[in-house]
Amino acid sequence: MNIEKALQQRRSVRAFTPQTVPGEVVRTLLETASQAPSGGNMQPWRVTAVGGQALKDLSARAKVTEPVQRPGLSYPPGLWEPYRSRRFENGEELYQALNIGREDKGARLAQLAKNGEMFGAPVGIFIAVEERMGYAQWVDLGIYLQSFMLLAAEKGLASCAQGFWRMYNDMLIEQLALPGGYQIAFGIALGYEDTSAPINQWRSSRATSGEWLALQGLD
């Protein structure tokens, strides 16, 4: 699979089969992704991959842990256009794919809670960064994340990046035995896609290039 095809096929998968992923495969993908560029070659990511009983224990603990919102880390306050509409429409389309109405708050919360189970994926990956790092280092994390997900797609593996786990920062820092001064940037569910799941038939839309692209001095 070439890079263009991997990029076109990659999407956020929210239902996985129980098929396991060998630890050595996970290690190789994560290590290869570290070839991603970073400002000053700082490589600010700290990565923990979890599976088996350890992942079950972590998910069980998440269920009994009160989530803590961390304003500004996921979305800026007072989100403005066009971003507000894009986010709203994305959420509505997701729930429509599941036949969950806007008034069914219980079903929506239940779907959100599936993040804590990695949507059934056999592997959970957590990316942490030192709290004192700046915006540029978070950009580096995003480059690492995308590199990893494209490598996974090339191997026939599905993934879903999850900002959800930022609400469980303190629990994860303890559960994963991370050093003090670190914070969770995001999690990644990794495994094999359940192609029969309705949620996996849906794919989020993209803005047209006219909304964000400008070419200057190019024929």
Structure confidence by residue, pLDDT tens digits, 130-189? 999 999 999 999 999 999 999 999 999 999 999 999 999 999 999 999 999 999 999 999
Which pLDDT score, from 0 to 100, does residue 71 have?
79
CATH class assigned to 3-70+115-202: alpha beta
- Lookup: tokens for 67: 């989530």
Say how far apart CA 185 and CA 166 lie, in whole Å: 6
Which pLDDT score, from 0 to 100, does residue 70 have?
85
Say how far apart CA 57 and CA 36 lie, in whole Å: 31
Specify the 3-state DSSP secondary structure of 12. Answer: strand
Q: Which segments in the chain show pLDDT lower than 50?
A: none
Say how far apart CA 168 and CA 174 lie, in whole Å: 10
Which pLDDT score, from 0 to 100, does residue 24 have?
98
Say how far apart CA 95 and CA 198 lie, in whole Å: 11
Helix 135-154, helix 23-33: angle, nearest 10? 130
Q: Which residues contact 138 (CB under 8 A, 6 or more apart)?
A: 129, 185
Sign of CA dihedral 29, 154, 73, 168: negative
Which pLDDT score, from 0 to 100, does residue 125 have?
99
Is the CB of residue 157 less than 8 Å from the CB of residue 21?
yes
Burial 59-82 (b: 16+ CB within 10 A, else e): eeebeeeebeeeeebeeeeeeeee
